[in-house]
Structure formats: structure tokens, C-alpha cells
A and B are shown apart, each in its own frame.
Chain A
């Protein structure tokens, strides 16, 4: 009798995946190819994230409110050689990191977003603005005339720093995963998920803070007292903004207001990494191409070899990278869900199981539209 009640009356369309989670598996099917792909791509992603996060933090700390940041991608090392490389576009596409940052900034959510609207932040920002533009009549007049202009820029800087700190952790996590795989410690997808989960748990309460030095003085934009932490104030909003919502790609979605292709509520956006179509990657108006392009340079040999054996080989590398990347992101999502769930998914306690199902339902509803099924094919 009890067992009958427990069974949901109507099966969720993604019931298979729910059961998979309850068996201790991940959203992504556990196959040797998947392990190879996911670990390989996370390795190159780790390398790219390392560069992104260093640059984001550099910009936040050293290009604060600079109206003409010509050398913002140089991390302070301007030389002729680097300049020529930069002009030859032989470099990491930091534009993508900024794109993610802006997307996260625009969608908001989490403690960081809330803190930026508090009077404490406004005071700190005002101090920093005055500190930066002391004696610059033009900028200070502009600040008077357009009082929200510079504070908004400071908010952007806070997000530069916040995302940079988040990616710092993730990068190390992914590189460590790859090292463990190379040592033979990681052999299944659940192990991958577990590695990520442990990393997230370990960093969960890491404080997110942001100070900037201007003319020798330190300005505390995001003080420790604000109580911002890694998991709830950067990781969760990041997953929401980048994995789920995202922004419509101009190359596939019409922005025409009269066509009503874009929902009027940001919460209804489904353009994120778990939803995006990998096929148009490489085409026009598809920003994630930049990320795939960056990752192609750091693919481990075994993964590159794996791609070479497909029908188009090197020609559709970026699409294949994106497909693999999507798979890996479902592993990361699994880890995040495990971390956020009220009880371990493998629990045998019916009450805990029911509570877990309660927790999973809204997430699973959102996955219906996602690329979950294709990623598992």
C-alpha cells in the first residue's frame, strides 16, 4: 500500500533521469566514451577558465573605471610581441568571459546582485569614484549629471571580480579532475560528478570579496562583512544565468519586438548552455563559438584523437567540442543538484525520497526543453 502511494500518479517525462539520479548515476549516461570526452573537455575548459579568471580579476583590480581600456586583455604585460599576437588575434578570446559576466550581471539573482543595490555599496562605490577621478572636473561633472553612470560601472567591476573568483575555483577543480583521470583514479561518470561535488562543497563558504587599489589607497567594494559566499552568491546565480537562461543569440533568434520570439520575462529565457543548439557553432552571431575556439587549443591528445576519427574530423571540431562540452555541463549540473538536494539521492528512506523528488521536479521541468536527451544519445 505504502509503495503504491509513493509512486507518482503521472510519470514525469524525464522519469528515466530521475531514477538514474536515485540510483547514484548522473544525468549523463556512464559510458567509457563519455568519461573520456567529459574529462578531456573539462581539462581544456579548466585551462581556458584559468586564463579567463586571471583576466577578469586583473581587469577588476587594475582597469577600474578606465574609460579606454586598450590593454585590458594584456594582464599588465604589454610588449611588442604580445601586441603583435594580440593584433593577429592569436590569443584567448577574453570577450567571451566578459560576455558571460555581462549575462550574469543582467540576469542578476543571488546575494551579490542584492548587495549591489544596498546603501553600503552605494557609499563604497561613491568613495571609489571620488578616489579615481579626484581632480578630473570633466568626469566629476559627468558624474553629477548622470548619477547612475559610474556606480553602474562599479557594479560591473564587482561582477568582473565575482565571476573571476568563481572561475578560479572551477578551473582548479577541473584541472585536478584531469590529473586524477591521468592517474587512473577516475573511471566512471559518477566519479566525475563526485569529484566536482566534493570541490563545490569544499569551496561553498569561501568568501567573495573585492578590493581595489587607487593611488595607493584601498577601497573595499565587496567587504567581507557583506557575507557573500562562493556557492550561493556566485555559483548558483551563475548556473541560473549561464546554464539555464543565457541570452538569445542574434544568429538564431530574431530580436524583432513584433515577432515576439523572446519572452518578456527573463525567467522564461531558455538560451543557456544546457539548451543551446551546438550545430550553428562556428557560424555568425553565435558567441559560444569563442569559447569552443579557445578550448580547441588545449584539447588533450586523447580527445583530439577521438574527434579526428569522426566523419568530418578536424573540419567540425568546434561543433564536436560544443557537443562534448554540453555533456560535461550536465555532469556539473548533476553535481550542483546533488549539492543542493535536501538528502542524498540514493536514500532509501521514503520520506527523504519524496522530499528529493519535490526538490527535483522544478529542475526536471526545466530540463524538458534542454538538450539532455541529445547529449545522452
Chain B
């Protein structure tokens, strides 16, 4: 029985896929007389099944050695692509998180999307999404993970594009796909390159391969950078970070997944690729650089947002930046803990704001206020989620950072600075949002707001409890993944002063956030430089504008030039030759159909003449042959 449950745990991601397929009769309109809810129920059921199966397998594998399920997918010439699944406590744990959050998000969607007749399509996409995420969790093969990351790109496109008739969705879905695709293509280059160097493309054998294969430094650096590109896009890291902001146009239940486990999937693959980054210091440095820039930049962007979803989505990038830094330092365990702590807290925050959006028909925080006492579960969840993200109260992030700074890891001073910065601004941002939305007097749009319905409340409350229990993970975690033996350096400044400083930073952030005068729509900073600064941050440092004038302009210009060249030079030349040498100008362009048949005849005749010329002298033989046959 034990073996059976473990051996079949690869089924868990497939349940989501089956659920997705079951929605088809409704989503493509075969069933039109009755509503699409059965599709949603099928999906919920399948996700529940995945969750139960995953839980059983997780229990059974606990404390056992990892197992590998190997499937030879494609063998051709010297290429042997195997899709390997890694059944270990870690991967099944990740699968559990995926199935759990998916289950909650789908239940949530039942309430959030209750008025949406395209519910079947939505749940189908959620099932598809869940299947890909679950697959990434247990995949031990780079090619499989790459494929699933691409599927994620596709389903992000489809989910963001769910409300396809909404004008901003049209561009948001496109940009999300293309931005991620840039990362994916570069990642594909890395995967193909790695495969060409004879690497088996299994994560678990990468380490041995990296140690045993001498690779020129430049190649190693390029390989590393290429492999970083994919997760950079997935985790919304600079310079591929803007899609997450735009993707907020999509439905909120998908946003819950996107800001928690989808971004985490990219980082998860990055963590598994870590051995490759040890080959070259450049790729490790690049990770640290990308992560730090994103963490600082996104923290700043977040505090200037007035859209409730975007205040949180930028902070997602910032936290994933910390994960990048941790991977760059080779501190893989910490990276995983950061991911876990962020996942639960951020998912909870997104559930909370979804309830607000649904009941106020509004996303503008400057038009909100006074919701605290009307929405007990929503506001409590927001508080718990926020507390889980900053290291003030002993929740997820507090304990994670405590483990990071407790002396077993090498934490340079700049990293402590970075952590302080992110904490300060995160605390500032979250309290700012809290104050605007929940405190103060009700605004016209928040005058009549009831608490959400039970399909929204139940998952939210459950996740709030999970977030409260989350600290047990970083506390219990034994560091078995990280390649280098942990240090024991208890005298360093970050170790001695790190936690108090972090708590102080969070506290200062909260105080600033609470004491600043709430910004209302009609109150814009009057001083010029404040206004400039706010716009600069609110519009994401104008990075989008930058892309417009660089990458987008370059592609569009070169495509226009190519098209022009094609039309007037290549084709023009052809027409010219055609016109001048063979026929006169107008005949080719405006020929009557009778004439063209004449040309056809000419060509066939010409060919016949060539034949004849080549074969003359042999005609008598041919004639003899035919006459011989005739006799």
C-alpha cells in the first residue's frame, strides 16, 4: 500500500489536468441550456483528490530516501530525453503546497466568480495551471521543468486574458506572455546548450556533472546566465518584472496563485539549477545583482501604488528578489524557506484584497476607508498576512530570517542592509495600505460594504490559520539541501545585531505608515519634487517607456525595414527582371488569363526544347526502342 501510494504520486498533478478536460463541454459551449457550475465542482473535486493523494504520499515518504520515476520519453540518435520525477519529502511537500493553495484558491473562485458565466473556462485554466505547477514540484528533469514552465507561460497568458474583451487585458496578456517568453527562449538556449555538453538534464545528476565536466569559463558563465533568464521572467525580476504589474488585470483568484506559487515555481527551478551556477562566479553574481536591484526597486515602486492589487504585486517581486540573492549565495535552504513564508502570507493577502474588491467594486485605495469593523475576517486576514511578511511578530518571515541570521550562514553586511531595506519598506507599504483601506472614516464607495460570502471566507480563514502555523516550518527545517557546510560564526555583526535591527526597521516602517497623512485622490503632493518622485515610482520608474523606445522600437523598426526591403527590393527586383527580360511590364501584372496559359505553354515548350537539345543524337535510339516495343 505504501509503495502504491508513493509510486502513483505522479498522478497528483494529472488530476488537475483531468479536471481541466472535464470542463470542456461547458467551456466550448456544447452544454448551453444549463450552467457551468458542474465544471467548477469537477475541478474542485479533482484538486481535493490531488490534495489527499499528495498528503498520503507525503506522509509515507517522510523520512525515506527519495525515489526516482524515470520515463524515457524520446530517443533519437544521440539524444535521450528522460522525464524523471523526484519523489522525495521535499518535492512532495512542494506538491502539497501547490495542491493546498490551489484548492483554497478554487474554492475562493467559486465565490469570486459566481456571476461569471465563463466559470467553466476559468476553472479549466486553473486546473491546467495547477497541473503544470504540480508537475514542476515533482519534476527532476530540466527538460520537463522547462516544458512545464512554458505551459505556465501559456496558462498565465490565458488566465490574464480571461476577460479578453477588456481593452487593458488585451495588452496585459500579450505583454505577460512575451516578457516571460523572452526569459523562456534564453532558458531554452541554456537547456539546449547544457544538453549539448552532455549533461543528462536531470537535476539530481547536475551536481556530479558540474563537478566532473571541465567547461571553459566563458561558456560556463553564458550557460549560467541563460539558465537564470527563465526564472527571472517567471519570478518577475528586473528587467523582466513589469508583466506582473500588468497581469493584475486578470481575475483575482488567479492572482492569488500567480503571486504565491507561480512566481515560486520559477524560483523552485532556479534552486534546483543551483549546481550549474557554482560553475561560474559570474552567474552567481548576476543572481545577487538581479535580486538586489529588484528587491530595492520593487520595494520603492510598491509604496507609490494606489491600486490595491499593485501595492502587493510589486512587493512579490521584491521578496522573490531576496530568494534570488539567497540562491546566488548558494544558501538554497534559506531560499526555500523564504519561498514558503512568502507563499502563504502573500496568498492570504491577495484573498483579503479580493474580498474588498468584490464588495466595493473598486481597487483604488485612496477611495477607501473604514472597512475594519465591517469585515472581520477580511481585515484580520490582512493583518495576519502582513505580519507574516515582515519580521516584527514571530510569524513566518521572522523565523525564516532568524534562521538566516543565526550564525550558521555567511551573511555579509550588505545583505543585512538589503534585508533591513526590504523590511522597512514592506512594513511601510503594508501599514500604509491597511490604514487607507481599513482605518479612517468610510468613503462614499466604502459606505455600504458587507463581509464576503462563505466560499470566500472559508478559504481565507483556513489560510490565515495556516499562516499562523507557518513558523513551524522554518523552526523545524533541517538544512539538508545546501551544498556547502553551514558555518558557525556567532560573532559577526549581522548575527549579533541582525534580528533586533530587523524588528526595529519593521517597527519604524509601521510607525511611518500609520503616521503619514492618508493620501486621498484629490490630494496630490504639491511640491514639485515629491510629485515627480511619486510619479516616478507609481509608473515603475518608467521602465515600460524605456522598453517602448528600445526593444519594442527596435523590433518594430527592423520589421518595418524588412517588410519594405521585401516589397521594394527583393520583390521589386524580381518583378523588374520579370518585366524587362521575359515579358513587357504590364503583361505580368495585369495579364489576361488567356495569356497566362500561353506562357505556361511557352515554358513547357522551352523545357521540351532543352530536353531535345540535350538528347539529340539519341533520338534514333529512342525511336528504335519504341518501335521495338510496338512490335
Q: How far is the CA of A89 from the CA of B166 in the complex (A)?
A: 27
Q: Which of A96-117 contact B (CB under 8 A)?
A: 96, 99, 102, 105-106, 108, 113
Residues of B within 8 A of A80 (CB): none
Q: How far is the CA of A91 from the CA of B33 in the complex (A)?
A: 10
Q: How far is the CA of A259 from the CA of B170 in the complex (A)?
A: 14
Q: A255-B357, A285-B166 are in contact. Are A156 and B118 (CB under 8 A)?
A: no
Asked if A87 contacts B37 (CB within 8 A), the reply is: yes
Asked if A155 contacts B448 (CB within 8 A), the reply is: yes
> At the interface, yes or no: B164 with Cβ under 8 Å from chain A?
yes
Asked if B249 contacts A256 (CB within 8 A), the reply is: yes
- Pick the contact of B365 from A90, A148, A155, A257 — CB < 8 Å? A257
Report the minimum CB–CB distance from A88 to chain B (whole Å).
Answer: 6
Binding stretch for chain B, among A276-284, A326-334, A338-346: A276-284
Residues of A within 8 A of B365 (CB): 257
> At the interface, yes or no: B273 with Cβ under 8 Å from chain A?
no
Q: How far is the CA of A118 from the CA of B375 in the complex (A)?
A: 21
Q: Which of B114-137 contact A (CB under 8 A)?
A: 114-118, 121-122
Q: How far is the CA of A105 from the CA of B446 in the complex (A)?
A: 11
Residues of B within 8 A of A105 (CB): 448, 450
Over the window 265-287 of chain A, the binary record of Cβ atoms lying under 8 Å from chain B Cβ atoms (1 yes, 0 no) is 11000000000000010111111
> At the interface, yes or no: A93 with Cβ under 8 Å from chain B?
yes
Report the minimum CB–CB distance from A205 to chain B (whole Å).
Answer: 26
Report the minimum CB–CB distance from A246 to chain B (whole Å).
Answer: 10
> At the interface, yes or no: A262 with Cβ under 8 Å from chain B?
yes
Nearest residue (CB) in A for B121 is: A284
Q: Which of B478-537 contact A (CB under 8 A)?
A: 521
Q: How far is the CA of A105 from the CA of B450 in the complex (A)?
A: 10
Report the minimum CB–CB distance from A115 to chain B (whole Å).
Answer: 13
- Pick the contact of A142 from B41, B248, B376 — CB < 8 Å? B376
> At the interface, yes or no: B195 with Cβ under 8 Å from chain A?
no
Report the minimum CB–CB distance from A273 to chain B (whole Å).
Answer: 15
Residues of A within 8 A of B36 (CB): 89
Question: For the complex, would chain A's binding face be called helix, strand, loop or mixed by DSSP majority?
Answer: loop
Over the window 227-243 of chain A, the binary record of Cβ atoms lying under 8 Å from chain B Cβ atoms (1 yes, 0 no) is 00000000000000000
Asked if A87 contacts B38 (CB within 8 A), the reply is: yes
Asked if B34 contacts A152 (CB within 8 A), the reply is: no
Asked if B38 contacts A88 (CB within 8 A), the reply is: yes
Asked if B444 contacts A152 (CB within 8 A), the reply is: no
> At the interface, yes or no: A253 with Cβ under 8 Å from chain B?
yes
Report which residue of B166, B308, B457 has the largest number of chain A beta carbons within 10 angstroms of its beta carbon.
B166
Asked if B373 contacts A146 (CB within 8 A), the reply is: yes
Q: Which of B322-369 contact A (CB under 8 A)?
A: 357, 359-367
> At the interface, yes or no: B307 with Cβ under 8 Å from chain A?
yes
Residues of B within 8 A of A218 (CB): none
Q: How far is the CA of A152 from the CA of B539 in the complex (A)?
A: 37
Residues of B within 8 A of A251 (CB): 116, 163, 165-166
Asked if A149 contacts B374 (CB within 8 A), the reply is: yes
Nearest residue (CB) in A for B376 is: A146
Nearest residue (CB) in B for A153 is: B450
Q: How far is the CA of A252 from the CA of B451 in the complex (A)?
A: 25
Q: How far is the CA of A327 from the CA of B305 in the complex (A)?
A: 42
Asked if A284 contacts B454 (CB within 8 A), the reply is: no
- Pick the contact of B308 from A67, A113, A257, A284 — CB < 8 Å? A257
Asked if A153 contacts B451 (CB within 8 A), the reply is: yes
> At the interface, yes or no: A145 with Cβ under 8 Å from chain B?
yes
> At the interface, yes or no: A185 with Cβ under 8 Å from chain B?
no
Asked if A264 contacts B38 (CB within 8 A), the reply is: no
Q: A264-B367, A283-B118 are in contact. Are A256 and B445 (CB under 8 A)?
A: no
Over the window 285-300 of chain A, the binary record of Cβ atoms lying under 8 Å from chain B Cβ atoms (1 yes, 0 no) is 1110110010001000
Q: Which of B135-178 contact A (CB under 8 A)?
A: 162-169
Asked if A87 contacts B41 (CB within 8 A), the reply is: yes
Nearest residue (CB) in B for A154 is: B450
Report the minimum CB–CB distance from B438 to chain A (whole Å).
Answer: 11
Nearest residue (CB) in A for B114 is: A95
Residues of B within 8 A of A287 (CB): 115-116
> At the interface, yes or no: B567 with Cβ under 8 Å from chain A?
no
Q: Which of B197-231 contact A (CB under 8 A)?
A: none
Report the minimum CB–CB distance from A227 to chain B (whole Å).
Answer: 21
Q: A89-B37, A106-B361, A293-B35 are in contact. Are A258 and B306 (CB under 8 A)?
A: yes
> At the interface, yes or no: B251 with Cβ under 8 Å from chain A?
yes
Report the minimum CB–CB distance from A210 to chain B (whole Å).
Answer: 16
Asked if B115 contacts A266 (CB within 8 A), the reply is: no
Over the window 447-471 of chain B, the binary record of Cβ atoms lying under 8 Å from chain A Cβ atoms (1 yes, 0 no) is 1111100100100000000000000
Report the minimum CB–CB distance from A265 to chain B (whole Å).
Answer: 7
Q: How far is the CA of A118 from the CA of B34 in the complex (A)?
A: 43
- Pick the contact of B168 from A99, A156, A259, A265 — CB < 8 Å? A259
Asked if B450 contacts A156 (CB within 8 A), the reply is: yes
Nearest residue (CB) in A for B39 is: A89
Q: How far is the CA of A250 from the CA of B119 in the complex (A)?
A: 13
> At the interface, yes or no: A42 with Cβ under 8 Å from chain B?
no
Asked if A264 contacts B373 (CB within 8 A), the reply is: no
Report the minimum CB–CB distance from B435 to chain A (whole Å).
Answer: 17
Residues of B within 8 A of A290 (CB): 115, 117
Residues of B within 8 A of A68 (CB): 454
Over the window 109-151 of chain A, the binary record of Cβ atoms lying under 8 Å from chain B Cβ atoms (1 yes, 0 no) is 0000100000000000000000000000000001001111100
> At the interface, yes or no: B541 with Cβ under 8 Å from chain A?
no
Contact-size category for A: 35 or more
Asked if A89 contacts B374 (CB within 8 A), the reply is: no
Report the minimum CB–CB distance from B144 to chain A (whole Å).
Answer: 31
Report which residue of B308, B366, B450 has the largest number of chain A beta carbons within 10 angstroms of its beta carbon.
B450
> At the interface, yes or no: A76 with Cβ under 8 Å from chain B?
no
- Pick the contact of A89 from B35, B449, B521 — CB < 8 Å? B35
Report which residue of A95, A99, A251, A259 has the largest number of chain B beta carbons within 10 angstroms of its beta carbon.
A251
> At the interface, yes or no: A69 with Cβ under 8 Å from chain B?
yes
Residues of A within 8 A of B375 (CB): 146, 149
Asked if B367 contacts A258 (CB within 8 A), the reply is: no
Nearest residue (CB) in A for B311 is: A257
Residues of A within 8 A of B122 (CB): 284
- Pick the contact of A264 from B361, B450, B521 — CB < 8 Å? B521
Asked if B376 contacts A282 (CB within 8 A), the reply is: no
Report the minimum CB–CB distance from A58 to chain B (whole Å).
Answer: 17
Q: A148-B373, A289-B117 are in contact. Are A284 and B163 (CB under 8 A)?
A: yes
Report the minimum CB–CB distance from B464 to chain A (whole Å).
Answer: 14
Report the minimum CB–CB distance from A17 to chain B (whole Å).
Answer: 29
Nearest residue (CB) in A for B162 is: A284
Asked if A248 contacts B117 (CB within 8 A), the reply is: no
Report the minimum CB–CB distance from B358 to chain A (whole Å).
Answer: 9
Q: A149-B375, A284-B116, A293-B117 are in contact. Are A257 and B361 (CB under 8 A)?
A: no
Report the minimum CB–CB distance from A56 to chain B (whole Å).
Answer: 15
> At the interface, yes or no: B432 with Cβ under 8 Å from chain A?
no
Asked if A89 contacts B373 (CB within 8 A), the reply is: no
Nearest residue (CB) in A for B443 is: A264
Over the window 62-76 of chain A, the binary record of Cβ atoms lying under 8 Å from chain B Cβ atoms (1 yes, 0 no) is 000001110000000
Residues of B within 8 A of A248 (CB): 361
Over the window 20-43 of chain B, the binary record of Cβ atoms lying under 8 Å from chain A Cβ atoms (1 yes, 0 no) is 000000000000011111100100
Q: How far is the CA of A290 from the CA of B119 in the complex (A)?
A: 12
Q: How far is the CA of A95 from the CA of B453 in the complex (A)?
A: 12
> At the interface, yes or no: A347 with Cβ under 8 Å from chain B?
no
Q: How far is the CA of A89 from the CA of B121 in the complex (A)?
A: 15
Over the window 66-79 of chain B, the binary record of Cβ atoms lying under 8 Å from chain A Cβ atoms (1 yes, 0 no) is 00000000000000
Report the minimum CB–CB distance from B119 to chain A (whole Å).
Answer: 9
Question: Would you list the 4 A-B pairs with minimal beta carbon distance, nearest first?
Answer: A89-B35, A284-B118, A257-B364, A257-B307
Supply 11 further A-B pairs (C-beta < 8 A) apart from A146-B372, A256-B363, A258-B539: A102-B359, A113-B448, A146-B379, A149-B375, A153-B450, A250-B251, A253-B166, A254-B169, A258-B307, A284-B164, A285-B163
Cross-chain pairs A/B with CB under 8 angstroms, 19 sampled: A68-B454, A88-B34, A88-B37, A89-B38, A105-B450, A106-B360, A108-B448, A146-B379, A149-B374, A152-B451, A252-B163, A253-B166, A254-B166, A254-B249, A255-B357, A264-B367, A266-B445, A284-B165, A290-B117
